[in-house]
Amino acid sequence: MKRTVLVSGGNRGIGLAIVTALAEQGNAVWLGSRELAEGERVAASFEESGLDVTAVQLDLADASSIESAVNRVQGAGYPISALVNNAGVYHDRPLLELTDAETAESLSVHLTGPIRLIRALVPDMTSRGYGRIVNVSSSWGSFAEGLGGPGAYGVTKAALNALTVRLANELPSTIKVNSMCPGWVRTRMGGGGATRSPEEGAKTAVWLATLPDDGPTGGFFRDEEPIEW
C-alpha cells in the first residue's frame, strides 16, 4: 500500500538513503531539508525514475519552520502515515566546552524538534488508526554502551531514546514508535573510514517505517534486532 512519509534531514547521507528506499517501495516521500534549494535539487534527481519525492523546507531547530513544513504537507492533501526523525547535529568537542547555542541546537534537533513534529502529526495518525514514528538515534545514546561520542551528541540521543519509550506508553497501539541505530556509516558525520554504506545504515529505519500491524513499539533496534538502552 502506498503511504506518505516525511523524512527530516533527507537531502544527504542516511536520510537520503531512507528517502530512496521508501520511494522505491512506491511510497510518496517528503524530503525535509534545512536548505530548500538543496532539497529541491536532490528531489529533482528522482524525477527520471518516476519516484514520488517532494522537497520541503524543514529545520528542526526552528519552530516556525516545523509549523510551515507540516502546513505545507497537510495543505497539499497528504496525510502523513510515517515520520522518520533523521536530522542530526554533531559538535565535536567535550560537553562543557560547547557554547549555549551549540547545546541548544543539539537539544532542538534531537529532542524538541522531533517532539514538535510528532505533536503536530499524531492527531491525524490517531484518527486514521495508523502511524509509524522512527527516531534515528545511535548506540552513543545507549546507557548500556556508555553514552559515547563527543559533546552533547550521546546525551541528546539518549533523550531521544527516552522520548521513544515515553511515547510508546502514551500513544495508541496503532501508532508504532521506535528508535534505531544505523551503525557506523560513511557520511559527512561518520567519515570515509566508516564500515557501512548509507544504504546499509538506512535499512532498519525503512523496516520500522513500514512495520505491519503486529510490529514492535517502544524498542531500540540495529539490523532489525533489539539492542539495549
Catalytic residues: 153
Parallel, antiparallel or unpaired: strands 131-136 and 82-85: parallel
Would you give the DSSP letter of residue 98? S
- Looking at 57-197, list the stretches that DSSP marks H as alpha helix, in order from N- to C-terminal side: 63-75, 100-107, 113-128, 153-170
With beta carbons less than 8 A apart as the criterion, state whether 106 and 151 touch. yes
What is the chain's length?
229
Rounded Cα distance, 43 and 62, in Å: 22
- Starting at the edge strand that comes first in sequence, how are the strands of the sheet with 220-222 ordered? 53-57, 28-33, 4-7, 82-85, 131-136, 175-180, 220-222, 225-226
Residue 118 burial by Cβ neighbours in a 10 Å radius (0-12, 13-18, 19+) = buried
Rounded Cα distance, 229 and 142, in Å: 5
Would you give the DSSP letter of residue 112? I
